[in-house]
Homo-oligomer: A and B are copies of this chain.
Amino acid sequence: MRKLLYSFLLFSAVFSTDLIAQTPLNFNDSDPVKMGWMQGFPPPKDKIVSAIDGSFFKFPALRYSVCHMRQFMPTTVVKSTTGKTFKFKVRLDNNIDAITFTPTNANGLMTWKESLEKNYTDGMLILHKGKIIYEKYFGELKPDGLHAAMSVSKTFTGTLGGLLIEEGVLDENKLGSDYIPELKGSAFGDATIRQILDMTTGLKYSEDYSNPNAEIWAFSAAGNPFPKPQSYNGPTNYYDYLKTVQKEGEHGEVFGYKTVNTDVMGWIISKVSGKSIPELLSDRIWKPLGTHFDGYYQIDGAGIAFAGGGFSANMRDMAMFGEMIRKKGYFNKQQILPSALIDDIMKGGDKEAFKKSSYGSLNWSYRDMWWITHNEHGSFAARGVHGQTIYIDPKAEMVIVRFSSHPEAKNSKIDPTSLPAYHAVAKYLMNK
C-alpha cells in the first residue's frame, strides 16, 4: 500500500496494468460523468476519487482525474497570455467520422468514429492548414478544461532544451556535470546534453513497475510532495534523487526511454536560464502562442516541476503549440522558435540507437524528446501514457491533438487503432 501511495506521481502503468483483474469497462460504461465521480455534496464514499488512497490514478476513476490533476496535488502555474489570445478559424469537416482504416492489430476496417471509442478518447482536435476541421470532447473534458499531458510534457522540456542549444546557451557536446556540478558521480555527469536530450544515456534505472526494487519507486517517492512516512530516509525532491542515478553500459549507444533524462534536462535548463520549466515555457512558448488558459505542472516538495510528466493543458492551446511546430516556429504573427530547431527535430535522432531499444521494431527515432516516425509523410509526435499525443503530419499539413484515458498506459496498446487512423485522415486531406 505504501508502494501504491508513493507511486502515483509518475503517471504510470502501475494501476492500470497490474491491478486490473478483469476486462476494463468500455468507453461508454466508463464515462466519468455517467459514473458520477465526485458528484454530490458530499459525493458518495465510493465515488470519491482521492490521492490519499491512490484511487485517483486507477482506471476507471482515472478518466475523471486526468481532467483535474490539481485537485490531487500541489501545482504551479504556466501562465497564458494576458494580452490578445489567438483564435483558430473553424471549418468543421463532417466526412471525417466515416473515414475508414485498417487497425494493425485486427482484420477488417474501422471507422474514425469507432476509433475514438476504442481509444477512450477524452478530446480530439484536428487542424488542417491551421484551421480546426474536427473537434470533439467526451466525458469529463470540456472546451475550457485542462487535461493531463503525461509524457507529452517531455516534449516541452526537450523543445526548450533544443531552443537553448540553438541560441548557444547550451552546448550539446558539453556534459551534464559541466552545467550541474552536483551531477558528478551520477550517470548524467559524463553524459552529453545531446545524449540526455535524445535519451541515449546508459542508466541503471528500471521503469518496470512490476519489480518492487525498480528505481522508478525511489524516483516517485522522492518527488512525492506529501509528508513522508517516518521510516523514509531517501531524497525528498527530484533533483536530490537524480544525483543518485548510476550508469549502466555506455552513453550514446542505445535509446532508452527513461523519464529521469527529462527531469535532468529540466534541471539543466532551469540552471542555465534561471527559470523554472513552467516559467520558461510560459515566457518563451505559452504566452507568445496566445493561449487562452493557464496550464499547470505538478511539483515536488521543494517546488520543482515534474518536467518528465507533470503538465496539464487545454486542448486548443496544445493545438496552437502543434501548429507552431508545423509552421517551423512561426505562429500568431511571430517567429516563436527558430526554424532551424524544428528542421533539426524533423530530421530525427540516432536511428541505430533507436533500433537497438525495446521500441526498435517501430523503426522510428527520438530527437529533443519528440518521436520521429520517419514515415513517408515525415510525421512526428509528442506522446504520453494512456493515449496523449500531439501528432504532426507535415506533408498533409495536419496537426492532431488527442487527450485520452485508456485503461492501458502503454501506447503500444493504443497505436494499432490510432496511427493508421491518423494516416488515413492525412491521406483524405491530401486528396480533398
Contacts and interface: CB of A to CB of B under 8 A. Distances in A.
Interface of A: 5, 38, 41-43, 48-52, 68, 70-77, 79, 82, 144, 225-228, 236-237, 239-240, 267, 270-271, 276, 292, 294, 296, 299, 301-304
Given A50-B302, A301-B50, A41 B72 contact: no
Contact of A301 (B52, B228, B237, B270): B52
Copies of this chain per assembly: 2
B38 A82 contact: no
A230 to B, nearest CB: 9
B71 A41 contact: no
Given A79-B144, A82-B144, 20 more contacts: A41-B239, A42-B237, A42-B240, A42-B302, A48-B301, A48-B302, A49-B303, A50-B301, A51-B74, A51-B301, A52-B227, A52-B236, A70-B74, A70-B75, A70-B76, A71-B74, A71-B75, A71-B303, A82-B292, A226-B227
B51 A225 contact: yes
B43 A303 contact: yes
Contacts of A48: 301-303
4 nearest A-B residue pairs (beta carbon):
A41-B270, A42-B239, A52-B227, A226-B226
Nearest to A267: B41
Contacts of A79: 144
A247 to B, nearest CB: 22
A236 B43 CA distance: 13
14 contacts: A5-B227, A41-B304, A42-B240, A43-B303, A48-B301, A49-B303, A52-B228, A52-B236, A71-B76, A71-B303, A72-B74, A82-B292, A226-B226, A227-B227
A226 B41 CA distance: 20
Contacts of A72: 74
Contacts of A227: 5, 52, 226-227
A355 B316 CA distance: 55
A89 to B, nearest CB: 18
Contacts of A82: 144, 292
A304 B39 CA distance: 11
Contacts of A74: 51, 70-74
B52 A225 contact: yes
A302 B43 contact: yes
A301 B55 CA distance: 12
A42 B76 contact: no
Contacts of A73: 74
Contact of A41 (B75, B228, B276): B276
Contact of A75 (B50, B75, B302): B75
A42 B52 CA distance: 27
Nearest to A292: B82
Nearest to A70: B75
A225 to B, nearest CB: 7
A408 to B, nearest CB: 26
Contacts of A228: 52
Nearest to A182: B42
